[in-house]
Amino acid sequence: VPAGSEVSQESLLLHGPFARKPKRIRTAFSPSQLLRLERAFEKNHYVVGAERKQLASSLSLSETQVV
């Protein structure tokens, strides 16, 4: 196998359509944050917009962490 084809195969694995995304760091929620998040989820399974922003702010979390 020519050296050039090995590089392209490696490149495909690293950057191709099946390349793995880097793992996201898992958030460790405090018990009080979990309780508030669970209550919000019970009321509405999709917390979006201003409600999501307000909930994130009140819990000292980013909006991305409030999914």
Instruction: Render pLDDT for 7-24 as a digit per residue (tens, 0 to 9).
Output: 566 665 666 666 677 887
Q: 0.75 cut: is pTM over it?
A: no
Closest by Cα among 40, 43, 44 to 32: 40
- Are the C-beta atoms of residues 34 and 66 closer than 8 Å to each other? no
61: left (phi over 0), alpha (psi -120 to 50) or beta: beta
Integer Cα distance of 64 and 46 in angstroms: 13
Report pLDDT digits (tens) over 20-52.
Answer: 778 878 888 999 999 999 999 998 888 889 999
Structure tokens at 27: 């958030």
Structure tokens at 49: 């917009």
- As its CATH architecture, domain 27-66 has Orthogonal Bundle (1.10)
